[in-house]
Amino acid sequence: MQFEYFINGGDFSKAGQASSQFKKVLQQLNVAPHTIKRIVVALYEAEVNIVAHAFKGKISIELQPDLVSMLLTDEGPGIPDIEKAMEVGYSTASPKVREMGFGAGMGLSNIKNNADLLEITSIVGKGTTLKISVNLSKQE
Amino acid sequence: MKVEDLIKTLSLTPFTGDIGTSRPVAGGYTGDLLSDVMGHSLAGQVWITLQTHKNVMAVASLRDLAAVIIVNGLKPNDDMLEQAAEENIPVLGTYESAFDVSGKLFKLLEK
Ligand SMILES: Nc1ncnc2c1ncn2[C@@H]1O[C@H](COP(=O)(O)OP(=O)(O)OP(=O)(O)O)[C@@H](O)[C@H]1O
Ligand SMILES: [Mg+2]
């Protein structure tokens, strides 16, 4: 099954909507709660990063019986130093975004901790792509 | 313990009325950074925070939290309450600090 969501940069009123919609799909398919949690945490953080840091983006999800593959591509500033961005506490979030409680610099590490695979590619001045996979067959 | 028991015992303001008050409470998590709560809270916990906007409800719903308690007498934004109703997750208020209400909740859940 394929799913697509479109994300607008800067629109915090809709941040998390795609993740929420996809969570409902997973619940309907009776995916184990622990696995849903891992997918949803990773997807939410990646979704919010598009809202917080990029101009616009697209989420494409492929759901297979044993695997969910999520591809998030955005048009935005890109990430100059991905290793640094992965560090807990590193954030370039604006003061306004931080005031809302974003910008702890924990999003990418949340994704890493919950995903079975995370690949980040980025071109500065162009955009960022995240490939995130979570195994569905894993026994809880 | 259910959310309605917390409302009574801790004299919380039920900003969302009866919504979700029968949800069971499994513990608590205190924090104001959304990705901290996203990464560290557990399903069924009550989230104690001073954040008052709609994105709190997105996190609470995605993490299956039992309720949100807003501290220091702060009031939730309208869009937060709308989202809370949609997600069926209660938003509660207290004039106490995050420390005090967390301590009380901790004691209550220990029993
Ligand atoms: N899609 C993106 N486009 C551009 N920069 C990004 C993107 N995603 C992450 N970054 C960069 O990586 C940094 C770290 O991201 P991470 O998600 O870990 O933390 P954050 O978004 O700053 O805060 P938090 O996720 O804790 O609210 C960001 O501050 C930003 O500089
Ligand atoms: Mg982030």
From first to last of the 111 residues of chain B, give the pLDDT tens digit: 999 999 999 999 999 999 999 999 999 999 999 999 999 999 999 999 999 999 999 999 999 999 999 999 999 999 999 999 999 999 999 999 999 999 999 999 997
| Alpha carbons A71 and A130: distance in angstroms, whole number | 6
Whether residue A36 is predicted with pLDDT greater than 70 in this model: the reply is yes
The CA-atom distances, in angstroms, between A1 and each of A36, A60, A62, A66, A69 are 16, 11, 6, 12, 11
Q: Which residue among B38, B54, B64 sits closest to A44, beta carbon to beta carbon?
A: B38
- Alpha carbon of B100 to ligand 1 centroid (Å): 32
- Alpha carbon of A134 to ligand 2 centroid (Å): 19
The structure's pTM equals: 0.97
Whether residue A100 is predicted with pLDDT greater than 70 in this model: the reply is yes
At B111 the pLDDT is 78
User: Chain B within 8 Å of A90 (Cβ-Cβ)?
Assistant: no
At B26 the pLDDT is 96
Give tens-digit pLDDT for A72-89.
999 999 999 999 999 999
ipTM of the complex: 0.95
* Domain A2-135 of CATH type 3.40.1360.10: no
Q: Using CA positions, which residue lies closest to atom 17 of ligand 1?
A: A107
| Alpha carbons A75 and A97: distance in angstroms, whole number | 19
Question: What is the CATH class of B3-110?
Answer: alpha beta
Q: Are B11 and B97 in contact (CB under 8 A)?
A: no
At A140 the pLDDT is 47
Ligand 1 atom index nearest CA of A57 = 1
Domain parsing of chain A, residue ranges: 2-135
